Amino acid sequence: MGGGDRTSAAWVGVSGGPPILAETAGEEAGPIPVGSAPGPIPGAPGPATIDAFPRVEVPEEVAPASTFDVVVGLGSQAQGGVVGGPIRIARDTVELTVQIKAENFFVAQVRHTLVVDTANLEANVVRIPVVAPTPPHAWRGRIEIEYSANGLLVGSAWRDLVVTAGASPAAPPSTAGGDTRMEMSQQLPIDLTVSISRGEASGKFLWSFTTPHPVALPEVQVETLLDRESAETFALRKIRDIAKVDGSPTAELKILGVAREVAEALPLWFWKLLTPIWQLAKAEGRVPTLLIVSREALVPWELASTESDFVVDQSLLDAGAPPILSAQVVIGRWCPAGPETPSGVRRPSTAPAERINVRRLAVVVGEFGPASGFRSLKEAISEGQELTGAYPSVWVKGTTSDVAMLLKGDLTDRGQPVTAEVLHVASHGEVDPDSPINSGVILSDSAVRIDEQIVIGSDFTRRDAPFVFLNACQLATDSGSSLVEGGLAAAFLRAGARGFVAPLWSIDDTIAKQTALLFYAAALTSGEPVGEVMRRLRARFHTDFPQHDQTTPLAYAYYGHPGLRLTKEN
């Protein structure tokens, strides 16, 4: 910190206050309410729910070019041999929307309505005709079904099948696959949920869209392919490009160039849906909320341009913010739920949390002396001091012993076990693409890195399910890579974290400290939704830096519900 760079994984603190958030709203847009989210859907179901198992029947093998039906419905019991658990629906649900993703298969209509009889879940099904591809050899494919209610995802299921010339016309149903549920509250809807699945080819994505609003959704499969690049190459190149120009007069040009490339990589349907949904949100005096549920965490979709090539109605934009998606809409990411364990737990959880009651912060600070071989982090120390002075906190030295004790759940404070609902870390970090073992958060007194496996092994994270703010001052490397891209975001979510914030590239120490302190002042002290706080903090790229040469405000990625609120528990 202190004029240096913090890189791709940041954990910071809070100072300053809400005024910065108020000043970033553009005059043309008018006042934008904090906590932007559509109101409860009229007639939204109450808390009474039932569990229903996805029913997806696919032959375990089909012949090339053959037409077969995918049978989609619900059941009171799991299908034999299928891994997974039930989805949860309101007891008064009368219909669900089902969407099919089937890479390389032909599907004439991807969206269908499933009539639900909660007294007899097996009563109704949808039959979706599908045409098999013609691969040169036996080939294993996948059929994926997404279930949604009132415009919110509630679950998904997938079944694998083999396309082979020797397929039997009477093949039994496939039991290779799984089920996953998404427990999204119907009381806090999201304007647009984008679900991204990775295709068989490198850089190929399959997309689906869910919204509670009356807009026309695609009836065909939506697929994209990153030309000449894998997702990893595309993402790392973008991040490397931005990291190299921070503080330069060319920074804004680089940001806009990357933003336009990312926007072009999004499917046309995304932009066709975003504009009318945005118009509906603006008519209600707010900005839209967007959740990206993605099986890939590499492409920085948040950086997409919102210029006139992509958002035709430019009156929607906040004139005081840069034309970058994450600075214009309230956006969060999430990873699909992991497989169900015998205990019924899934990691990551089936849906991002909407509220976290915070009693205490665990503030981890790296204190690097001359003997450490690393640059001193004076701003990180100051950041930790301000955080622990402003909020109920415990200071954790960034040493191997203290951090290990915290993550094991064995750390004590004045004789009492340390519990915390927020984990904040200010330290060095490093990414070495040629040596993953050397990637992670650097401790003050050791060559050991806090990497993905150590995070996943944390009992503290499983027990307390904290919100994690990673503000690591990454060492200068040629990779320009990111600890987020290195897997720490997914690792923390798998370990139980209910939210995660970190920068995607090297960041300025002083601005990073300001960002973190402002974040907590708005999100924790004022109780504003995390997604909206992050949006307005990104707008500082324009409002606080007239030369538009500091890229740090745009660096932060957020994993969590767009409307998540952190509330102080007295």
Is 0.85 topped by the overall pTM?
Answer: no
Place of tokens 């500091």: 550
Q: What's the CATH number where 367 sits?
A: 3.40.50
355-358 and 330-334 beta bridge pairing: unpaired
Tokens encoding 327: 């600075």
Contact between 122 and 73 under an 8 Å Cβ cutoff? The reply is yes
Does residue 341 fall inside a structural domain? no
Residues 459 and 522 in one domain: yes
Residues 465 and 563 in one domain: yes
Residues 486 and 393 in one domain: yes
- Supply φ then ψ for residue 270, to 5 degrees: -60, -45
Residues 399 and 520 in one domain: yes
Question: Diameter of the chain by CA atoms?
Answer: 73
Q: Pick the closest to residue 289 from 218, 211, 352, 349 (CA basis).
A: 211
Does residue 431 fall inside a structural domain? yes
Q: Pick the closest to residue 39 from 151, 118, 135 (CA basis).
A: 151
Residues 321 and 448 in one domain: no
Residues 549 and 519 in one domain: yes
Last residue within a domain, chosen from 267, 302, 333:
333
Dihedral angle, C-alpha 445, 446, 448, 451, nearest 10 °: 10
For helices 251-265 and 231-243, what crossing angle results, to 10°?
160
Residues 527 and 393 in one domain: yes
Whether omega before 276 lies within 30 degrees of 0, making that bond cis, reads no
Does residue 125 fall inside a structural domain? yes
What string of DSSP letters covers 60-118?
SEE-TT-EEEEEEEEESSPPTT-B---EEEETT--EEEEEEE-TTSB-S--EEEEE--T
pLDDT tens series, the chain, 570 aa:
444 555 433 322 222 333 333 333 333 333 334 344 454 444 444 448 888 999 999 999 999 999 999 999 999 988 877 777 788 888 888 999 999 999 999 999 999 999 999 999 999 999 999 999 999 999 999 999 999 988 888 888 999 999 999 999 999 999 998 887 766 665 678 999 999 988 888 889 999 999 999 999 999 999 999 987 888 788 878 887 888 898 999 999 999 999 999 999 999 999 999 999 999 999 999 999 999 988 776 789 999 999 999 999 999 999 999 999 999 999 999 886 655 555 555 556 557 889 999 999 999 987 655 454 555 567 878 998 999 999 999 999 888 888 889 999 999 988 889 999 999 988 755 554 444 444 456 565 555 667 778 888 899 999 999 999 988 655 334 444 444 444 778 888 888 899 999 888 878 889 989 999 999 999 999 999 999 999 999 999 999 999 999 999 999 999 999 999 999 876
Does residue 36 fall inside a structural domain? no
Residues 314 and 357 in one domain: no
Does residue 345 fall inside a structural domain? no
Last residue within a domain, chosen from 138, 165, 187:
187
Does residue 219 fall inside a structural domain? no
CA angle 386, 390, 392 (to 5 degrees): 115
Q: What's the CATH number where 75 sits?
A: 2.60.40.10
Residues 450 and 496 in one domain: yes
Instruction: Please state the domain count of the chain.
Output: 3
Q: Pick the closest to residue 12 from 565, 520, 548 (CA basis).
A: 520
Last residue within a domain, chosen from 333, 367, 402:
333
Domain boundaries, position 273:
225-333
Compute the distance between CA of residue 322 and CA of residue 304 in angstroms, rounded to an integer: 11
Residues 183 and 274 in one domain: no
Does residue 201 fall inside a structural domain? no
Residues 445 and 360 in one domain: yes
- Supply φ then ψ for residue 7, to 5 degrees: -115, -170
Half-sphere exposure at residue 264, Cβ-oriented, CA atoms within 13 angstroms:
9
> What sign has the CA pseudo-torsion 448, 450, 452, 453?
positive
Does residue 244 fall inside a structural domain? yes
Residues 454 and 375 in one domain: yes
Q: Is 177 left (phi over 0), alpha (psi -120 to 50) or beta?
A: left
Compute the distance between CA of residue 137 and CA of residue 309 in angstroms, rounded to an integer: 42
Compute the distance between CA of residue 436 and CA of residue 433 in angstroms, rounded to an integer: 6
